[in-house]
Each structure stands twice: as C-alpha cells, then as structure tokens.
Structure 1
C-alpha cells in the first residue's frame, strides 16, 4: 500500500484592487505640504481677492466683468475664472498632475510600489484618479470661495450680460456654475498633458512645467490673428468661450466645440501617458525618461491631433478671423438698445422697447482706409435710434477696441448727455452710466 501526498495549494498572488491603490495614492498626495498649501490657498485666497477688489474705488476694468464687481456678487467668480484660466489652473495642474509620476523617480520607490501593487496598469489608474480628485477639490474651492465672498460683500444682485440684457440672480448663478463646469474640460486636458510629461520625462523638471508651458503657448497663439479653426482646435479655448453663456441667445457653438476639443485632448494625452508607462523598463533605477520616446509617442501624436482638429473645424468655422463688419454692427446695436433701456430706467423716464428704438449701427475700421474686418483698436461705430413721438433720430459715437478673441470694449465718444460721463444723475443720486463704457462679445462662428 502506497501513500499519496497531496500537494499543498499554491497561493494565488493577486494585484491590489484599484480602490485600495487609489486611497493609497490619495493619502500620499494629501500628505505633501505643497498640496496642502494649494488646497488652503484655493479655499481662502479667492475670498480675500474678491473682498479686497470689490471694496476698492478702482476696478479691474481690463478683465471681463471686472467693471461690475461693485454692482453684483456674481461678477467676482467670473473675474476669478478669467484669471484662473490664464494662470491659476495651469499652475495647479503642473504642481499636482505634472509631478505624480516623477516623484517616484526622484525618490527611487518604483520597485517598492510594484512589489506592493503588482500591476503597472493599476498604479497608473490609481495615480491618475488621485491627481484628478485633488484638482477637482482645488477647482471647487476656487468657485465656492469667490462666490460666497462676492455674495456676502456685494450682494445677490442682477448681472448685466455681454449683450446688455439683465440676468436675474438665479439665472446668473446657473450661468456662473455652468461656466466653471465648462472650464473643467481644458483643466482636464492640461492635467492629462501633465501626466504625459511626468511619465515621459522622468526626473526632468520639464515634466512638472509642461502644463504651464503649454498653457502659456496657447495664450500667445490666442492673442495672434490666427484663423478661427486654429483658435478652436486648441484645448484651452474653453477657458475663453464661456463668455458666450452671457449673451441672449447664448453663443453655445464655440463653447461646445471648445469643451469637446478639450475632452478629446484629455483622452488622447492620458492614453499616450498610459502606453508609455506600461511599456517602461522599471529595472533601471536611474531612468530619466526617453527623449526619443517622449518625442515620437508624446509630442508627435499631439501635433497630429492639432492638425486633424484644424482640418475638421475649418469647413465649419471658415478661414478668417471671424470678426466681420455685420457681426460688429449687430452686436453693438443690440447691446446699446438694452443698455439704453437701463439708463432710461435710471433716469426715471418713460420705458421704451427695443422694437420702438429701432437701434442701428454703422461701423468702420481705420477710417475707411482698411477693410472693416478683423481685430484692432481702430473701430468706430455710429449708433442711431428713435424714440416714440420724436421725429429726429438720436445718435451716439463709440470707439471700439476688439481683440482677436472677439471681445470688445466700447468707449463712448459723445454726445455727453448720453455717453460722455461716467456717472449719471438719478433721482436717488449719482449712479454709473451704463452707456459710458461697456464690454461685448462677438461670436466668431458664422451666423446663420
């Protein structure tokens, strides 16, 4: 009789679940003093900024909605959104997503992490989700802090849109929230670029700086007289196109395109970072990134994506600047009519409708020496309107400065009783003259 020995069960080694890896990576991020400082700053600094600026005599009139920070609390989060899209959000994505992989290279902890988790794929997902969570917390802090301080300091009042119509506090709240939600799309695109730089460049500080450098390059391009297709194909355009939410009807076309383009960039950049990460040789403790691989698997695909986006958008947007004479005239006439009614109410005069005013504008550029199209500070508009029971039409002159993004500032140039003074005398005291100077926005897409 022979005895048979049963082989003991071989233990099955399973990778750590993504949820546990996510919690581990999130704790690692939140334990860094740099991330803690960012969270505190994003939840406190906007409140201080809005409170201080709203109580000053001079306002940031060169910033969209800056001239309204005395009038309504909803202007504060919009001013902060304009600043954040240019500087704060690119910097935040650099400091969080741009360093999430490179930190392991500097500390030499990849071997320990691989032994514990046993799956490069799960490590990548955990790190990407944890950095995204921190970025969302930072953005929420910017929104909540600036909004609460604006409402407490200035008040929950009506907001004047970029075409002169009044938005109720509830409508303004919804559009402010939607504008910040749309700004999340380009923030995700920059975060994905940060992940790609952190993976591809290893210990190099360029991985940390990549989102900020890309954002700065996009800002420079946006200020150049490039075709609309190139402008909309850049992932940062949604930081700008939220302006269209504050017109009636809302200019949703450029905003939707900007959000979609940003999300596509986020998906592509994250996918490239993932492919580079799972193919990496972790046995080399001195890995500093592969310059050739970063170029061929990182930069080249993004350049191709930009070219494909431009080619796809060109038939829809056209090949010009999008700023044309008829668009300028229509925008200025509509906004003047809305603001004229607001001034009429201030002066306690009989109300009139836009249909009764029959407002029209004739705009030229460069004194008829150049074609009336494109950006510039040499636009001049003569606005005419009619009052019921008055035979002679009224007229007013405005000097316009239109930037390449379609935003313009209209500066009143007479007559003085209409737009010649900053203040108007009302039965309740002096108030800002809505017709003296105002901001507007021209939709760059073709108008049907």
Structure 2
C-alpha cells in the first residue's frame, strides 16, 4: 500500500491582514475595566452622596467655616454650599480624583502584566491610548458631575433657594446665582483636565512606580501652595491651578473675567501638551521587554522639560499682553474694592433694619487704607492693612466712619474685620425689628483684581 501526497491547489490570495479593533469597542472595554474595581464604585458613590451629607452637616452647625470663601453665608442661602465645596475640591478633592483615575489607567496594565494580551486583542497602540484616555475622561466627568449635583441638592434642601451675596457684597438673585455656580464648576474643569493629563503622562512614563499615581496630587498641591507665596502676577496666572481660585471673579460686579479666562486658557494648554507627551511616550515604548514598565529617564526630557517650556511661554505672554508686574495688590485697588463691598453691604444692613432704601450714589462711599501704618511700601499682601471707610447718609449732615483690619492674601482675596463703631461693624449681630440677625458689615470677604485696570 502506497501513500499518495495530494498537493493543495495553488492560490494567489494573500492571508487577510489583522484589522485593529474599533476605538468604540476598545472604549467600551476600558469603561468596563474602569468600573469593575471596588475603588471606582466607592468613588462614584462618595461623589454622588458625600457632598450632600457634608453640606447638610455644615449648614446645621452654629459655627460656619468663615475662613472659606462663601462659607460665612451658608446659613443665608443654598448657593453658598456648592461654592464652599468647590474651594475645598480645588485644593484637595479634584487632584486626588484625577490621581486615582487617570494616574493609574496605564500603570494598572504594568502591575497586572496584561500589556501583551491587550496589544494582541486591540492590535493598535493609538487606539489603546485613545480608549484609555477617553475612559478616564468619562469617569472623571462623572465624578465631577456627582460633586456638583450632590452639593447643590444638599445645600438647597438644607437652606433653600435664596439670594446669594457676591464677593464684593452685591446681591445675586437665585437664578443668577445658580447660573454662576454652574459656570464656576465648569471653569474648574479646565485645571482638572490639566491634572488628569499630567496623570496620564505619569502613568505612561513611570509605570508601576507609585510616583506615577501620586503625580497629579503632588502637582496640584504644589500649585496651590505656590498661590500662597508672593509671586509676580504673570507667574501666578501662568500656573494651571490658578483657575481653581479665579472663579471667584464671577461673583464680583463688574465681573473679573480676565484672570479667569487666562487661567482657563493656561490649564487647557497644559492639558493638551501633557496628553500629547503621554501619547508620544506611549507610542515609543518597548512592549517586548517585560522588564521595561515605563519611560524612565525619558520622562525628564520628554515630559518635564516641555511642560516647563509651556510655563515659561505662558509667563512671557501674560507679562507682555497684560502689563502686570509685582504682586498686583496696591493701595488704590484695596481702597476701591473695600469701598465697593462696604457700599453693597451697608445697603443690605439698612434693609435688615427696615430703614429707607439708599443708593450707592447717595452713600458716596470711600476708603482710606494704609499698610503697616504707612511705614512700608503701600502694596502687597499682609495682615497689616488698616482702613477707614467713610460714607454719607442722605439727609444727615454727619459723615459716617468705620474702621477695618484687612488680611490680604497673595492671591488677592482679603477678609475685612470690623473694628467699630459697634452700631455699624463692631459686633457680629445686629438688632433688627424682627430680632437679632448676622451683621453683614462685621466681617466680610473681598477680592482685589490682580491685573491692571484699563
């Protein structure tokens, strides 16, 4: 018995090329991976429930967080709660969320050793990066939406939909306050995206190293700490974290929009550059070497140096375009800001006392301020500003005067502490026909626009 070799028929057809998985399918797969860990589910639950409980608890306390912007108004309106929450999240909450989500999206594959399986399944480095970046962005937006919705709901339930007192003392109607609160949170998304992009960069460049996970937190806290230093205005505005505090300009009249727009633009520039750097590092990574879990030393040249270049370019552009120099805080700005805030709040006090309404034109409020009793340069931050506010009451020949001690921070925010007379600003309560009420002139917040006025 003989065996016969049967030759297969010849064919000119080439084997079919492997087709990469569509981005949409890879994105859905990455979303499933993002929501699978208990950590992500716990974060979502905390962001959608925690702020409401926190605001409800703070609103019921007798001692309010008066050192936090809008914290002193939490008994007066429900719109103060989400703004107080935004101030806290800009310093701690949002950098931490970006670290836990974006800072771990690539490093998780290194820890689990699943890069080869993922590359075989998707067959495209570019699509893997796009899917992971989009999935991280989706989770971050969901977490931020939970913070906003929960904070607003809890504050409105606790206090109600009432008018909000702005940063300079003017009153915002509930509808106007609602729109500006949402806009303030929307503006805070820009520095959040910048930190998320830095998280992607750290996750790609540093691999399994814990520093990649902590990078957004470290950068965020460093930028917020820098805002407390006496930096020149162009340097301050060129840091992407400035947008976390520049939103308070929305609640002034007129609105201080220029610093906010600069902060948002700088943050978006950082987000774009950091994402591009992460993308380039990811494409250049060697996945065939199992011991290589990141870019290592390349992170210094391909990551940190370009971002330093963005910072230097931002400083130069802001300095030339705005003409800002020094601290941006001078005697004239402090006096104008204090006089404006006092005029607004004096009218509010008159309403509490059921006195005839007066206009700010009738009050003709002015302020005279001196730093360190005039012994030093009359500019810059410090708690040694002492001011005398003067106003005129219609129909009364006597001119009113009130004393204030000002603590002006390096970022332009100040707290004005009343120092008499007692009937005006020397006591935290005021006697009204309806009983005692918080005295709006006793202690209040204000803000100095750091950019030159044109």
TM-score category of the 2 structures, normalised to the smaller one:
over 0.9
Q: Give the SS at the match of 1:401.
A: strand
Please name the residue that 1:267 is paired with: 272
Question: How far apart in 2 are the matches of 1:288 and 1:109?
Answer: 11
State the alpha-carbon separation in 1 of the partners of residues 78 and 9 from structure 2.
83
Give 1:331's match in structure 2, choosing from 337, 347, 352.
337
SS at match of 1:416: coil
What's the counterpart of residue 367 of structure 1?
373
Query: Offset of 1:330 from its aligned partner?
Result: 0.4
Do the aligned residues in 2 keep the contact of 1:331 with 1:441 (CA within 8 Å)? yes
- Select 1:441's aligned residue among 426, 438, 447: 447
The structure 2 residue matched to 1:188, chosen from 184, 188, 193, is 193
Deviation at 1:287, TM superposition (A): 1.4
Q: Matched residues in 2 for 1:280 and 1:12: separation?
A: 24
Whether 2:16 is the aligned partner of 1:26: answer no
Q: Deviations over 1:151-205 (max 9, x none)?
A: 0110000000011110000000000000000000000000000000000001101
Structure 2 partner of 1:396? 402
Match of 1:382 in 2: 388
Contact in 2 for aligned 1:361/1:383 (Cα 8 Å): yes
Contact kept, 8 Å, 1:228 with 1:317, in 2: the verdict is no
SS of match in other structure, 2:407: strand
- TM-score (ref. length: structure 1): 0.98
What is the deviation of 1:32?
A: 1.0
* Matched position secondary structure for 1:91: helix
Query: Whole-Å Cα distance in 2 between the matches of residues 331 and 8 of structure 1?
Result: 79
After TM superposition, give the deviation of residue 7 of structure 1 in Å. Answer: 3.2
Match of 2:145 in 1: 140
- Measured after TM superposition, the shift of residue 87 of structure 1 is 0.2
- Please report how far the alpha carbon of residue 289 of structure 1 lies from its aligned counterpart in structure 2 after TM superposition: 2.2
Q: Please list, as runs of the form range in 1=range in 2, the aligned pairs for 1:411-426 lying within 5 A after superposition.
A: 411-426=417-432
Three-state SS of the structure 1 residue aligned to 2:374 is coil
Higher alpha-carbon deviation: 119-128 or 283-292: 283-292
For 1:63, the equivalent position in structure 2 comes to 68
Q: 2:104 aligns with which of 99, 102, 106?
A: 99
Distance 1:163 1:420 in 2: 20
Is the contact between residue 402 and residue 409 of structure 1 (CA under 8 Å) also seen in structure 2? yes
Contact 1:201 1:207 in 2 (8 A): yes
Aligned to 1:48: 53
2:244 corresponds in structure 1 to 239
Contact kept in structure 1, 2:285 and 2:295, CA below 8 Å:
no
Matched residues, number: 446
Local SS of the residue matching 1:248: coil
Which ranges of structure 2 fall in alignment gaps of 5 or more residues? 1-7
Q: Secondary structure at the match of 2:241?
A: coil
Say which SS state the counterpart of residue 255 (structure 2) adopts.
coil
- For 1:58, what is the secondary structure of its paired residue? coil
For residue 421 of structure 1, report the CA deviation from its aligned partner. Answer: 1.1
Matches for 1:109-124 after TM superposition, within 5 Å: 109-124=114-129
In structure 1, C-alpha distance between the alignment counterparts of 2:148 and 2:262, rounded to whole Å: 23
Further displaced range: 33-42 or 3-12 = 3-12
- Residue number in structure 2 paired with 1:207: 212
Secondary structure of 2:82's counterpart equals helix
Give the root-mean-square deviation of aligned CA atoms.
1.1
Instruction: Answer yes or no: is the 8 Å Cα contact 1:105–1:287 preserved in 2.
Output: no
Q: Report deviation, 1:6.
A: 4.2
What is aligned with 1:11?
Answer: 16
Deviant stretches of 4+, over 6 Å: none
Query: Could you report, residue by residue, the CA deviation over 1:380-407 in whole angstroms, capped at 9, with x for unpaired residues?
Result: 1101011112112110000000000100
Q: Is the CA contact 1:51–1:150 (under 8 Å) kept in the aligned structure 2? A: yes
Instruction: Report the counterpart of residue 39 of structure 1 in structure 2.
Output: 44
2:202 matched to which residue of 1? 197
Q: Distance in 1 between matches of 2:38 and 2:242?
A: 32
CA deviation digits over 1:19-50, x for unaligned, max 9?
00000001001001111111001011101100
Give the drift of 1:333.
Answer: 0.4
Q: What corresponds to 1:282 in structure 2? A: 287
**Corresponding residue for residue 4 of structure 2:** none
TM-score (norm 2): 0.97
**Corresponding residue of 2:353:** 347
Quick check: 2:281–2:295 contact (8 Å CA) kept in 1?
no
Question: Match of 1:415, SS?
Answer: coil
